[in-house]
Every structure is written in C-alpha cells, then in structure tokens.
C-alpha cells in the first residue's frame, strides 16, 4: 500500500460571515491510498483558527502518515490523537479503499438513493437584508429547521429578525436554532439567552467561548433556552476528559463535527457518553468538500437520529467535487443517477 496527499482550496460562492470573521476559502487535504489497482480517498478537514490541529507541522504530519501508512488503521489512529482531522481522513481512506466504488463507505438506504437525511438550513451572518433573503430562500426550498448564525451584527437587529420569522411561522412550522460561536461574554450571556428565549427557539450553540467550564455549567443550569456545546468539544481527546466535561457542564445537547473531534471513533465516544448522561446530540459538517460530507452523511444515517442534522454545507463552494449529494426539500439526498468526479 502506498499513500500521498493533495491540497485543494475550496472557494466560497459568496463570502460567509461568522463571529470569527469572513470566510473566502477553505482548505481541503485529500489523503489518497493505492493498493492492488484500487484507490481510497479521505478528506482531512483542517479548519483554520478552529481545529485543535491547526499547527505549523500539520503538513509534516500528513507526510509522516503517508510514509507510515503500512502501520495500519489502529496504530495510525493511536499515533494521530493530536491530529483529529487527519484521524478522520485516515478512517475515510481505509473505508474507501475497501469499498466497492470508493465512495460507498456505509452502504444503506441513504446511499442507495432510497432515503434521505433531514437537515437544517444554514443562515450566514451579514447585513439584515442579506440574512432576511437567506431565510426567505431556505423557507422556499422546503426547510422546516433553520440554523441562524448570530453575534456579528447588532444583537437587537438579530432579535428583530427572529421576531419577524416568528410573526409568520410558529415553532410548529419552523424549528429555529441559533449559533453564537462563543460571541457572548460571561457577563451578558444569561441576559441575552433570556431575551432569545422569547422566540421559542430549539437551542443555542456555544453562547460563550470554550474553556469557561464553570461559567458554561451555570448557564446550562440557569438558561431558559437549551444550550448545545460545539467548540467546547474541540481538543478533548480522552474518554476521561470527555466524561468530565459533560458531567460538569451538563448541557442539553452536544454537536459533533467529526473533522474536529477525531472522526467516527472520536464522535462515537462523545455520543456514548452523552447518551449515558441523557444529553441529546446531532452531527454537523465542518465545511468539508463533498468527499468528507459524503462520509459524514453516510455514517450519520446509520446512527438513526431523529433530529435534523447540520449537513447542508456542500452547496457553499464554486469548485466542490462533483458528487451524487443533493439538497432537496430540506433534506440531504444521494442521487444514484449522478456520478462522482474526483479530479483534482
């Protein structure tokens, strides 16, 4: 078996705003295995400024992985604990190498084109007019669960947007999730959560920055609005520490991005601990190309969650990898009449 990697820059159709700034491009690193005339592909979804493995020696570690691919999956995963996105790429690549087509990692009714995955429609930060237009578009596209990024424009204007949605659509019509990406402070978070709770929201992701464990625990206890941990899970690699985080904070939900928490295996550890502690969860992509998104979607379908998942990011790029993945009527679908075109 041999291995190499290829960097690929994904270009956003339009600049996408978060509380951390404006995103124009997203790097993808494809790990490619070759053995007996078969190819296996995995995406290492490094997320600049967010991934715990966003370090200077990242490319050097990819080179080490390729050089030592003969060690096998188990040894590599153990050696790559500090590089969760590379762990995920390795998992995908081995599954891809052993699959029938290279992209059927978890064959199911989803990958056969017979079932779909409910997903939330993502509303990016921007001007009030831009956000209103996105909301209108998502509703017209058949979404009944919308996730809105907040924390970049004036908070009162964001509340106005939510109020305008609720004037037309009740919580029975549209489920609203908001994502603060840690934009609130420990001093103002509870008051803002109380004001947000007026709009019958499903939940808020990461209201304050990660690492403020005691403050987050107090928020989860006192908030009238359910809280979902997201960034809080990044960089926590051992089961013992994962248990300590969830048992201390006791959130209502956790949100798992496999590229950021150690792939399928790391995500499954979080799920097992969450379910033991009666904590809900759902899966979200982290701006991967369709290669990584496909892996996440196929795995997520097998988990049989009843909640809408965060898997609608494949449409964000002008130069994504052509794939059978399609977003229709608020769901992610796999159209078996469309082909993969992995040509980078």
Is the separation of the CB atoms in 126 and 18 below 8 Å? Answer: no
CA 61 to chain centre: 23
Cα 125 to Cα 16, 18, 68, 287, distances in angstroms: 7, 6, 42, 16
Is the separation of the CB atoms in 308 and 175 below 8 Å? Answer: yes
H helices present in the chain, as ranges = 58-67, 73-79, 84-97, 128-140, 155-168, 189-196, 213-222, 239-249, 258-261, 263-276, 290-303
- Nearest residue to 7 (alpha-carbon basis) of 53, 63, 78: 63
- Nearest residue to 313 (alpha-carbon basis) of 271, 259, 253: 259
189-196 helix and 213-222 helix, angle to the nearest 10 degrees? 30
- Catalytic annotation present for 149: yes
Is the separation of the CB atoms in 223 and 205 below 8 Å? Answer: no
Contacts of 18 (CB under 8 A, 6+ apart): 124, 125, 149, 152, 181
Pair type for strands 21-35 and 2-18: antiparallel
Cα 256 to Cα 282: distance, rounded to the nearest angstrom? 6
Let me know if domain 117-334 sits in CATH 3.20.20.120: yes
Please give the radius of gyration of the chain, using alpha carbons only, rounded to the nearest integer. 20
Q: Which residues pair with 322 in a beta bridge?
A: 341
Is the separation of the CB atoms in 177 and 202 below 8 Å? Answer: yes
φ, ψ at 83 (rounded to 5°) = -130, 70
- Catalytic annotation present for 257: yes
Question: What would the pLDDT profile of 296-307 be if each residue is shown by its tens digit?
Answer: 999 999 999 999
State the pLDDT at residue 104: 97
Cα 245 to Cα 143, 144, 195, 212, 228, distances in angstroms: 33, 32, 27, 11, 13
State the pLDDT at residue 152: 72
Paired tokens of 100: 């029938």
Specify the DSSP element, H or E, that contains 282. strand 280-283
* Structural domain spans, the chain: 2-97, 117-334
Cα 125 to Cα 16: distance, rounded to the nearest angstrom? 7
- pLDDT 10s per residue in the chain (344 long)? 999 999 999 999 877 665 556 778 899 999 999 999 999 999 999 999 899 999 999 999 999 999 999 999 999 999 999 999 999 999 999 999 999 999 999 999 999 999 999 999 988 777 778 888 888 899 899 999 999 988 877 899 889 889 988 888 899 988 999 999 899 999 999 999 999 999 999 999 999 999 999 999 999 999 999 999 999 999 999 999 999 999 999 999 999 999 999 999 999 999 999 999 999 999 999 999 999 999 999 999 999 999 999 998 888 899 999 999 999 999 999 999 999 998 86
Q: Which of 149, 192, 209, 242 is catalytic?
A: 149
Q: Which of 61, 147, 209, 257 is catalytic?
A: 257
Let me know if domain 2-97 sits in CATH 3.40.50.720: no
């Amino acid at each position: 078996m041999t291995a190499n990697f290829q960097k690929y820059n994904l270009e956003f159709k339009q600049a996408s705003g978060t509380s951390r700034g404006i995103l124009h491009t997203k790097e993808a690193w494809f790990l490619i295995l070759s053995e007996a005339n078969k190819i296996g592909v995995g995406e290492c979804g490094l997320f600049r400024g967010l991934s715990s493995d966003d370090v200077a020696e990242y490319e050097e570690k990819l080179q080490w992985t390729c050089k030592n691919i003969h060690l096998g999956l188990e040894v590599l995963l153990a050696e790559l604990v500090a590089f969760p996105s590379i762990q995920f790429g390795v998992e995908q690549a081995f599954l891809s190498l052993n699959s029938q087509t290279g992209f059927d990692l978890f064959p199911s009714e989803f990958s056969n084109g017979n079932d779909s995955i409910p997903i939330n429609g993502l509303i990016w930060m921007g001007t009030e007019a831009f956000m209103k237009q996105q909301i209108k578009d998502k509703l017209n596209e058949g979404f009944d669960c919308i996730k809105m990024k907040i924390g970049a424009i004036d908070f009162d204007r964001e509340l106005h947007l939510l109020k305008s949605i609720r004037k037309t659509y009740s919580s029975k019509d549209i489920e609203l999730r908001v994502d603060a990406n840690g934009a609130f402070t420990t001093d103002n978070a509870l008051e803002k959560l109380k004001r947000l709770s007026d709009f019958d929201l499903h939940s808020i992701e990461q209201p304050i920055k990660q690492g403020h464990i005691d403050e987050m625990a107090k928020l989860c206890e006192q908030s009238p609005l359910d809280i979902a941990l997201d960034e809080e899970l990044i960089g926590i690699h051992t089961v013992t520490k994962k248990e300590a985080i969830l048992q201390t904070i006791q959130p209502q939900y956790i949100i798992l991005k496999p590229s950021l928490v150690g792939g399928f295996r790391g995500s499954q550890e979080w799920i097992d601990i969450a379910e033991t502690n009666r904590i809900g969860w759902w899966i979200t992509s982290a701006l991967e190309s369709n290669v990584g998104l496909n892996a996440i979607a196929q795995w997520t379908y097998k988990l049989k969650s009843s909640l809408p998942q965060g898997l609608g990011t494949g449409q964000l790029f002008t130069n994504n990898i052509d794939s059978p993945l399609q977003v229709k009527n608020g769901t992610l679908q796999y159209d078996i009449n469309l082909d993969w075109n992995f040509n980078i």
